């Protein structure tokens, strides 16, 4: 391996251990000025940990980091920032309650003698957001009230405001829609043209081909390949490097839905008086229905309202022909509905509890006799599920907080797989999930469907919706603008529908 003198950052033999886990077991790679260096690896491979070490948020146990040829140790994030390393973390770490502008300049506030220059901060934030294609986000808004996608944009604005030499992005595209990804790529190109280096993490191989220059693959905390040319290397090779096995067929076969199958979920004229109106949705037993649309189009709100987690102002929801009472989540759960929420950290998980307890949370009564829980049965069933979903590291007694983002997502999925639902609502089920596991999740969804479950999948990945679903609904600004079989529509048509009226 030849290390050109131009290497901005070079990493050798990096090791980071957590209690009970070695997250990084020897990582080597180099980043050159002006390149987009992609990091690939399965969930739990150590990508996020590597980022945190590079940005000073974690201190490595062993190994050497050279910055512009000199050995450095970033004891804390400030030191890294001063050197010109800026990071966007996977778990958006913004402060709800503070405004967008405050978040952008948090830690490097614009100030005179300790007093914040608020107008200046607002103005610069405005400029950064415009540059990111989001004039719609007001710098004064409380970040906690923005959608996940918009929060991601704020994180990017924050990273840009640091004016770094190295920009690290941990799955920035996971919550963005195609349109926004395009804007993001535009900015990345602009930056690299100025000599800024970008480390880019994504589970979407297509993106890597589009934006990446070189690829480093991590597996189980080690570098298994580095410096691969992003445009030339074969997909199958990458997947084999990441997973150690071959995965060819991403989307499982779709057996035709029995037209006589009972309509399990029937939604008529659903309205929440705010975000969407008059939504009709019917899902038969064994059918997978996909909801496509732009981020912010109201898909999450639709499924949350169907589930009873948001207030239903008008319309009816029926499960197996029985109308659902209003009044919270209870009736929906009792009727056999399940929801995988969009934000796993704040809506889905008990971060400080064991994996198995998170999994059995919605099916506790099936493990209980007279209210007493059978711990052992809970563990056994959970272990079976985590094995099936390949949650790593294995071990149902682990605390969820210590799992990587993708593995946390799998834990939420396992919860509803365990509770054999009649209707399963999945909001971005594969966000942050790696190729291998993604495949397994698709298989599981399909298997559930064949067992007669009615499945609704919300996804910002149009390809995924088309590949996975039997029927596709396109949502635009709170209205369903298309409802038809998935094989009668293609990606560009969906994008057209989605963007219509949007100044893309």
Partner 1 sequence: MSEDTAAVPARTQGRAPAAKETGIAGLLGSAAGRNTGLVVALVLLCAGGVVTAGDRFADIDNVLTILRLAAVIGVVSIGMTFVITGGGIDLSVGAIVALSSVWATTLATQGMATGTHWIVMVFTALLVGGACGLVNGVLIAYGRVVAFIATLASLAAARGLAEIISNRKTQIVNVPGFAAFFDASVLGVPVLVVIFALVAVGGWVLLNRTTFGRRTFAVGGNPEAARLAGIDVRRHTVMLYSLLGLCCGLAAVMLIARTTTGSATHGGLYELDAIAAVVIGGTLLSGGRGTIAGTVFGVLIFTTLSNVFTLNNLSISAQAVAKGAIIVVAVLLQQRLARRSGA
Nearer to partner 1, 280 or 375 (CB): 375
Could you give phi then psi for residue 484, rounded to 5 degrees? -165, 170
Which positions from 254 through 283 interact with partner 1, judged by CB under 8 A? none
3-state secondary structure of 103: helix
25 binds ligand ATP (CB under 6 A): no
Q: Say if CB 312 and CB 272 are below 8 A apart.
A: yes
Exposure string over 299-336, b if 16+ CB within 10 A, otherwise e: bbbbbbbbbbbbebeebebbbeeeebeeeeeebbbebb
148 binds ligand ATP (CB under 6 A): yes
Any bridge partners for residue 216, and if so which? 39
Residue 107 makes contact with partner 1 by CB under 8 A: yes
**Nearer to partner 1 (CB atom), residue 93 or residue 220:** 93
Distance CA 397, CA 355 (A): 6
Examine residue 90 and tell whether it contacts ligand ATP (CB under 6 A). yes
Burial string for 141-173 (b: 16+ CB within 10 Å, else e) reads eebeebbbbbbbbbbbbbbbbbebbbbbbbbbb
Q: Which of residues 171-190 bind ligand ATP (CB under 6 A)?
A: 175
- Out of 146, 396, 411, 412, which residue is the one contacting ligand ATP (CB under 6 A)? 146
403 lies in the site for ligand ATP, by CB under 6 A:
yes
User: Phi, psi at residue 410, to the nearest 5°?
Assistant: -65, -35
Min separation Cβ 279 and Mg ion, Å = 15
CB of 224 to Mg ion, least distance (A): 17
Stretch that binds partner 1, among 40-48, 74-82, 247-255, 382-390 (CB under 8 A): 74-82
- Asked if 60 is part of the footprint of ligand ATP (rule: CB under 6 A), the reply reads no
Contact between 382 and 360 under an 8 Å Cβ cutoff? The reply is yes
Nearest alpha-carbon partner for 401 in 362, 350, 342, 437: 350
Q: Which of 192, 181, 178, 133 is nearest to 157 (CA)?
A: 133
Give the C-alpha separation, 51 to 75, whole Å: 14
Which region, judged by CB under 5 A, interacts with Mg ion, from 232-240, 335-343, 414-422, 435-443?
A: 335-343
Residue 114 interface partner, choices Mg ion, ligand ATP, partner 1, none, CB cut-off 5-8 Å depending on type: partner 1
Phi then psi for residue 8, to 5 deg, are -75, -45
Interaction with ligand ATP in 333-352: which residues (CB under 6 A)?
Answer: 342
454-458/288-293 β-pairing: parallel
Distance CA 312, CA 174 (A): 29
Instruction: Give the residue, chosen from 44, 164, 293, 405, that forms a contact with Mg ion under the rule CB under 5 A.
Output: 405
399 binds partner 1 (CB under 8 A): yes
Per DSSP, 498 falls in state: H
Determine if 342 is a binding residue for Mg ion (CB under 5 A). Answer: yes
Q: Which of 376, 488, 492, 501 is in the footprint of partner 1 by CB under 8 A? A: 376
298 contributes a contact to ligand ATP by CB under 6 A: yes
Q: Is 48 in the site for Mg ion (CB under 5 A)?
A: yes
Which region, judged by CB under 6 A, interacts with ligand ATP, from 93-101, 106-114, 151-159, 401-409?
401-409
Sites for partner 1 among residues 404-433 (CB under 8 A): 415
Q: Per the structure block, which two tokens stand in for 218?
A: 């991590």
Closest approach of partner 1 to the CB of residue 111, in Å: 5
**Interface segment toward partner 1; rule CB under 8 A; list 185-193, 366-374, 465-473, 484-492:** 366-374
Residue 338: burial class (beta carbons within 10 Å; 0-12, 13-18, 19+): buried
Smallest separation, CB 380 to ligand ATP (Å):
22
The listed partner (partner 1, Mg ion, ligand ATP, none) that binds 456, CB under 5 to 8 Å by sort, is none
Which phi and psi (to 5°) does residue 97 adopt? 105, -25
Q: Which does residue 21 bind out of Mg ion, partner 1, ligand ATP, none, counting CB within 5 to 8 angstroms by kind?
A: ligand ATP
Q: Does 145 bind ligand ATP (CB under 6 A)?
A: yes
Task: Choose, by CB under 6 A, the member of 331, 405, 429, 436 that binds ligand ATP.
Answer: 405
The contacts of residue 487 (CB under 8 Å, 6+ apart) are: none
Q: Shortest distance, CB of residue 403 to ligand ATP, whole angstroms?
A: 5
Strands ordered across the beta sheet of 166-170: 85-88, 166-170, 197-201, 36-41, 214-219, 222-229
DSSP annotation string for 199-260: EEE-S-HHHHHHH-SEEEEEETTEEEEEEEETTTS-HHHHHHHHHSS-----SPP-PPP-TT
Number of residues that bind Mg ion (CB under 5 A): 6
Q: Report the residue number, 133 or 402, with the smaller CB distance to ligand ATP.
A: 402
Among 42, 90, 226, 408, binds Mg ion (CB under 5 A): 90
Residue closer to partner 1 (CB basis): 88 or 498: 88
Q: What is the DSSP letter of 344?
A: I
Q: How far is the CB of 141 from ligand ATP (least distance, A)?
A: 8
Segment 114-173, which members bind partner 1 (CB under 8 A)? 114-116, 118, 140-142, 144-145
Give contact residues for ligand ATP (rule: CB under 6 A): 18, 21, 23, 41, 43-49, 90, 145-150, 175, 293, 295-301, 342, 393, 402-407, 432, 434, 458, 460
């Amino acid at each position: 391996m030849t290390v050109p003198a131009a290497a901005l950052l070079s990493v050798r033999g990096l090791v980071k251990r957590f209690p009970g886990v070695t997250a990084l077991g020897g990582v080597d790679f180099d980043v050159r000025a002006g390149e987009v260096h992609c990091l690939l690896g399965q969930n739990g491979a150590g990508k996020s940990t590597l980022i945190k070490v590079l940005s000073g948020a974690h201190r490595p146990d062993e190994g050497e980091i050279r910055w512009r040829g000199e050995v450095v140790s970033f004891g804390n994030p400030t030191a890294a920032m001063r050197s010109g390393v800026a990071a966007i973390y996977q778990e958006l770490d913004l402060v709800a309650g503070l405004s967008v502008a405050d978040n952008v300049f948090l830690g490097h506030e614009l100030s005179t003698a300790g007093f914040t220059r608020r107008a200046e901060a607002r103005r610069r934030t405005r400029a950064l957001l415009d540059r990111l294609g989001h004039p719609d986000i007001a710098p004064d808004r409380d970040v906690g009230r923005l959608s996940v996608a918009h929060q991601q944009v704020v994180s990017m604005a924050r990273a840009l405001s640091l004016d770094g030499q190295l920009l690290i992005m941990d799955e920035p595209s996971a919550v963005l829609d195609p349109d926004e990804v395009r804007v993001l790529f535009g900015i990345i190109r602009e930056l690299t043209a100025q000599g800024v280096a970008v480390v880019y993490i994504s589970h979407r191989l297509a993106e890597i081909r589009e934006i990446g220059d070189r690829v480093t693959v991590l597996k189980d905390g080690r570098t298994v390949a580095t410096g691969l040319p992003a445009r030339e290397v074969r997909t199958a090779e990458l997947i084999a490097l990441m997973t150690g096995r071959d995965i060819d067929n991403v989307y499982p076969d779709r057996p035709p839905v029995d037209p006589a199958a009972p309509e399990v979920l029937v939604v008529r004229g659903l309205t929440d008086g705010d975000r969407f109106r008059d939504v009709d949705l019917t899902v038969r037993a064994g059918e997978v229905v996909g909801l496509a649309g732009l981020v912010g189009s109201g898909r999450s709100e639709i499924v949350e309202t169907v589930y009873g987690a948001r207030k239903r102002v008008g319309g009816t929801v029926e499960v197996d022909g029985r109308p659902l009472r209003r009044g919270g989540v209870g009736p929906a759960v009792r009727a056999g509905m399940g929801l995988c929420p969009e934000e796993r950290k704040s809506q889905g998980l008990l971060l400080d509890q064991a994996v198995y307890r998170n999994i059995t949370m919605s099916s506790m009564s099936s493990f209980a006799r007279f209210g007493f829980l059978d711990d052992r049965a809970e563990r056994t069933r959970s272990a079976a599920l985590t094995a099936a979903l390949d949650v790593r590291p294995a071990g149902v007694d682990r605390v969820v907080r210590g799992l990587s983002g993708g593995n946390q997502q799998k834990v939420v999925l396992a919860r509803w797989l365990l509770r054999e639902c009649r209707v399963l609502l999945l909001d971005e089920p594969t966000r942050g999930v790696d190729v291998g596991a993604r495949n397994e999740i698709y298989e599981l969804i399909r298997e559930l469907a064949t067992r007669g479950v009615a499945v609704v999948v919300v996804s910002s990945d149009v390809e995924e919706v088309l590949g996975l679903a039997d029927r596709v609904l396109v949502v635009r600004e709170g209205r369903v603008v298309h409802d038809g079989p998935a094989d009668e529509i293609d990606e560009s048509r969906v994008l057209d529908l989605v963007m219509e009226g949007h100044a893309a």
